[in-house]
Amino acid sequence: MNHTLVLRTPGDRWSVKLNVRVLVVTLTLALLLAVSSVLALASGSHPTSFTEVLGALAAPEQSELALIILEIRMPRVLMAVLVGGALGSAGLILQGLVRNPLASPDVIGITSGASAAAVLYLWLGGITGTSLLLAPVAMGGAFAVALCITTLAWRQGISPYRLVLVGVGLAAALTAVTTLLLVLSPDSTAMNAYIWLTGSLYASQWHDVTALAPWLVVCWPLALIKLRHLDAQAMGEDMALGLGSALQGHRLLFLVLAVALAGSAVAYAGAVGFIGLIAPHMARRLLASGHTGLLPIAALIGSLILLYADWIGRVAFIPRDLPAGVFVAGIGAPFFVYLLYRLRRDPG
Amino acid sequence: MLRHTGLTLIAICSILSIAAHATTVVEHAFGKVRMEGRPDRIVSLYQGATDTAVALGIEPVAVVESWTEKPMYHYLRPELQGVTYLGLETQPDLERIAWLSPDLIVGASNRHRTIYPLLTRIAPTVIPGNVYDFRALLTLMAKATGRTARGEELLAQWEARVEDFRTRIRRKLGDQWPQEVAIITFRADHARIYYAGFARAVLDELGFVAPEDHRKEGWGIKLTSQESIPAMDAEAVFLFMEDDPAVQRTFDAWSSHPLWNNLQAVRKNEVYQVDPVTWNMGAGIIAANRMLDDLYRHYGLEQPALPCTDCKGCGQC
């Protein structure tokens, strides 16, 4: 049943083991994502046909149509794919790391750290502050919180259990700080902050795409190479050590990877929640595999969720443009309930 | 003689061509923009700009929705029959703006900073520095739309009215002038005192003064506890609130509190409810004139009939 392909370089220096089912599921999801992206590119408040979209993609020219498709829709669709993918994979890594299916960037405080930093920045800057530094500041907040959690949870190494508890505590404290800052802010700042906190891809531009992409280009391959150590850890600390996996070093690496993925995504799209929690679960329901195989699947599912959530926010209430974060929960929550229901009826 | 005529012709031609392609460089909060001629296709991305465009005699091709009386404030509706709506001020529909290919976009510095690069790709965009300064907004938009004469006329009318109001109210109130007034509002779950904003700016220009405690930095303060009611005190209080049952409940609760009845403005019966659209949301020259109309009526002052051509609802003719 579990066919595997093994690709080897001459001399057996490098080899890659590919599970056929993982490959099939990944390619199917990738195809679905590609089709959905074109669909999203072709719809918006100004009606455009597929031929017009393909024409604009093939031969960019100076026209309103090209501006709409290439400068307004395209970066937004790409950001949905990248941010969703980053959150989905960050959730998978965190859930594996703390061996708890309820862990996710928004639960253990990473998103809260980014949010508090972003709202603080908006509050200090008021209406005169530029938004250029918003993303780096939010990212800094995510890393600062991760550092705090690690330091506080450190007891001769990272204990996953303590990591979750400290994270949840810090998240609660930071949410309080965010609320306080919102109360102190004037209306227009508070409104900007609320949109950021819901998570919106409105007005995504090419510079956002080029700023976010490098993080993923570094993090994803690194995660693919290293995630097999998470499988070893899943069998227990002693087993992982027995198999020759550097337990604490890898835990630290995975934490940094998860923070970098979730932090960069949240920094550019705002505090989109839920994807980090739900995408790994959906991936695991699709197939049973190690973390390496689940990574692309969780990422693709995350991309699909955010792409459709943003598409609904953009198209369903024209001319109003609603934050994608609203619909992520709308799509994700029913699915989550369904998953739990299935899990109860059909354990295993 | 012939040579002379030729030279004159050349001179006339060059003057005409300059007039046809008159280029103005307009400086605004986010940079400079070159405007040619007298653009008519204008997109307004905030309420003050919509009000000001109407005052200048322009019907924008597209505007954002108003905050109440959706989709547009009643006082502006007659002038905006054929306008396209772009959704909310916070997230206007960019595709629709692009497709309308406007000549000029007017945005706000506090809302449209992130989309400004996209807006400039669509059309020349101007952003006024301060959203509450309706005079600067009028000057900026008049310049950008090649309607400086109309802009100056509106400002001159405004200044004449301000001067007249100050003379009359000084005569009426005598040693009670300048009067100390507070601007407050009620929301569904709290009350606010405004230290700055559109209404405060107009009242300042008219010569009213703010209570000592309200002369502070920042927009104002949110009051969440009824214990802070005394902070609202002034010789007179202008109060505006939206027509909403939840807001009314808050007001009823706060205004039945003993501390409320202890305010000097309440004891002297000097708390006046005014229209939130005029006093807080319109934020343009028309709203300012309507606010002044309210004040003339409120203090029982007689309005002089100023000659005004092509009036856009300032209410004085």
pLDDT in tens, A89-133: 999 999 999 888 878 888 888 999 999 999 998 888 754 445 678
Q: Select from B87, B94, B110 the Cβ nearest to the Cβ of A127.
A: B110
Q: Is the Cβ of A235 closer than 8 Å to some Cβ of chain B?
A: no
Helix, strand, coil percentages (3-state) for chain B, rounded to 5, are 45, 15, 40
Stretch 56-115 of chain A: residues touching chain B, C-beta under 8 Å: 64, 67-68, 71-73
CATH number at A4-321: 1.10.3470.10
* Spatial distance between the Cα atoms of B293 and B316, rounded to a whole number of angstroms: 8
In CATH, which of 3.40.50.620, 3.30.390.30, 3.90.1310.10, 3.40.50.1980 is domain B2-148?
A: 3.40.50.1980
Q: Which of A43, A134, A188 to mutate to test the interface with B (most CBs of B within 10 A)?
A: A188
Interchain CB distance below 8 Å, B117 and A318:
no
More confident residue, A337 or A297: A297
Q: How far B191 CA lies from chain A's nearest CA (Å)?
A: 12
Q: How far B14 CA lies from chain A's nearest CA (Å)?
A: 32
Long-range contacts of residues A225-229, Cβ cutoff 8 Å, at least 24 apart:
A226/A250, A226/A253, A226/A254, A226/A257, A227/A93, A227/A96, A227/A290, A227/A291, A227/A292, A227/A295, A228/A290, A228/A291, A228/A292
What residues of chain B lie within 8 A of the CB of A71, using their CB? Answer: 118, 121
pLDDT in tens, A206-226: 999 999 999 999 999 999 999
* Spatial distance between the Cα atoms of B123 and A312, rounded to a whole number of angstroms: 28
A314: nearest CA partner in chain B: B93
Interchain CB distance below 8 Å, B122 and A67:
yes
The secondary structure element, H or E, covering residue B106 is: strand B104-106
Question: Averaged over A30-35, what is the pLDDT?
Answer: 96
Domain ranges of chain A: 4-321
pLDDT in tens, B141-178: 999 999 999 999 999 999 999 999 999 999 999 998 89
A187: nearest CA partner in chain B: B219
The secondary structure element, H or E, covering residue A344 is: helix A324-345
* Spatial distance between the Cα atoms of A98 and A77, rounded to a whole number of angstroms: 32
Q: How far A4 CA lies from chain B's nearest CA (Å)?
A: 48
Count of alpha carbons within 13 Å of A267, Cβ hemisphere only? Answer: 25
Q: Select from B86, B101, B118 the Cβ nearest to the Cβ of A203.
A: B118
Residue A73 is predicted with a pLDDT of: 93
Q: How far apart are the first and last CA of chain B?
A: 53
Interchain CB distance below 8 Å, B91 and A131:
no
Partners of B27 in the beta sheet? B32
Partners of B62 in the beta sheet? B43, B84
**pLDDT at A346 exceeding the cut of 90:** no
- Percent above pLDDT 70 for chain B: 89
In CATH terms, the superfamily for domain B178-283 is Nitrogenase molybdenum iron protein domain (3.40.50.1980)
What residues of chain B lie within 8 A of the CB of A183, using their CB? Answer: 222, 224
Is residue B117 reached through a cis peptide bond, with omega within 30 degrees of 0 on the bond before it? no
Find out whether A40 and A72 touch, Cβ atoms under 8 Å: no
Helix, strand, coil percentages (3-state) for chain A, rounded to 5, are 75, 5, 20
What residues of chain B lie within 8 A of the CB of A127, using their CB? Answer: 109-110, 131
> For A263-267, A337-341, B62-66, B272-276, which range has the lowest pLDDT when averaged over its residues?
A337-341
**pLDDT at B16 exceeding the cut of 60:** no
DSSP classification of residue B180? B
Interchain CB distance below 8 Å, A205 and B117:
yes
Residue B308 is predicted with a pLDDT of: 53
**What pTM was computed for the model?**
0.84
The secondary structure element, H or E, covering residue B42 is: strand B42-44
* Spatial distance between the Cα atoms of B266 and B258, rounded to a whole number of angstroms: 11
Beta strand residue intervals within A164-280, DSSP E: none
**pLDDT tier at A2, thresholds 50, 70, 90:** low
More confident residue, A246 or A280: A280
Residue with tokens 């400290």: A166
Q: Select from A67, A189, A191 the Cβ nearest to the Cβ of B98.
A: A67
Interchain CB distance below 8 Å, A71 and B121:
yes
Q: How far A187 CA lies from chain B's nearest CA (Å)?
A: 9
Q: Select from B93, B117, B121 the Cβ nearest to the Cβ of A67.
A: B121
* Spatial distance between the Cα atoms of B78 and B80, rounded to a whole number of angstroms: 6
**pLDDT at B19 exceeding the cut of 70:** no
A319: nearest CA partner in chain B: B87
Domain ranges of chain B: 2-148, 178-283
**pLDDT tier at B317, thresholds 50, 70, 90:** very low
More confident residue, B119 or A156: B119
Q: Is the Cβ of A131 closer than 8 Å to some Cβ of chain B?
A: yes
Find out whether B152 and B64 touch, Cβ atoms under 8 Å: no
- Percent above pLDDT 90 for chain A: 42
Q: How far is CA A14 from CA A7, A125, A177, A230, A250, in A?
A: 8, 52, 50, 20, 21
Q: What is the DSSP string of A271-337?
A: ---SHHHHHHHHHHHH----HHHHHHHHHHHHHHHHHHHHHHHHHTTTT----HHHHHHHHHHHHHH
**Mean confidence (pLDDT) of chain B:** 88
**pLDDT tier at A348, thresholds 50, 70, 90:** very low
> For B17-26, B116-125, B140-149, B243-252, which range has the lowest pLDDT when averaged over its residues?
B17-26
Find out whether A48 and A30 touch, Cβ atoms under 8 Å: no
* Spatial distance between the Cα atoms of B135 and B126, rounded to a whole number of angstroms: 15
A208: nearest CA partner in chain B: B114
Q: Which amino acid is at B180?
A: E
Interchain CB distance below 8 Å, A191 and B121:
no
Interchain CB distance below 8 Å, A127 and B118:
no
CATH topology match: B2-148 vs B178-283 = yes
pLDDT in tens, B50-102: 999 999 999 999 999 998 898 999 999 999 999 999 998 888 999 999 999 99
Count of alpha carbons within 13 Å of B58, Cβ hemisphere only? Answer: 29
What residues of chain A lie within 8 A of the CB of B93, using their CB? Answer: 45, 318-321
Which among B263, B315, B264, B269 is positioned nearest to B294, based on CA atoms? B315
* Spatial distance between the Cα atoms of B215 and B204, rounded to a whole number of angstroms: 11
Long-range contacts of residues A67-72, Cβ cutoff 8 Å, at least 24 apart:
A67/B98, A67/B121, A67/B122, A68/A44, A68/B95, A68/B98, A68/B99, A69/A41, A71/A205, A71/A206, A71/B118, A71/B121, A72/A44, A72/B94, A72/B95, A72/B98, A72/B118
Q: Are strands B220-223 and B191-194 parallel, antiparallel or unpaired?
A: antiparallel
* Spatial distance between the Cα atoms of B241 and B248, rounded to a whole number of angstroms: 8
A·B CB contacts under 8 A: 73
Q: Which of B68, B99, B101 to mutate to test the interface with A (most CBs of A within 10 A)?
A: B99
Interchain CB distance below 8 Å, A186 and B86:
no
Q: How far is CA A17 from CA A20, A289, B289, in A?
A: 10, 13, 76
**pLDDT at B288 exceeding the cut of 90:** yes
The torsion angle over the Cα atoms of residues A253, A258, A264 and A266, rounded to 10 degrees, is: -160
- Dihedral sign (CA A285, A290, A291, A294): negative
* Spatial distance between the Cα atoms of A319 and A317, rounded to a whole number of angstroms: 6
Interchain CB distance below 8 Å, B93 and A321:
yes
What residues of chain A lie within 8 A of the CB of B95, using their CB? Answer: 44-46, 68, 72-73
Question: Averaged over B238-255, what is the pLDDT?
Answer: 93
What residues of chain A lie within 8 A of the CB of B96, using their CB? Answer: 45-46, 319
As for the ipTM of the complex, it is 0.81
Beta strand residue intervals within chain A, DSSP E: 4-8, 15-19
Residue B168 is predicted with a pLDDT of: 94
**Mean confidence (pLDDT) of chain A:** 87
pLDDT in tens, A297-332: 999 999 999 999 999 999 998 888 888 998 998 877
Interchain CB distance below 8 Å, B118 and A205:
yes
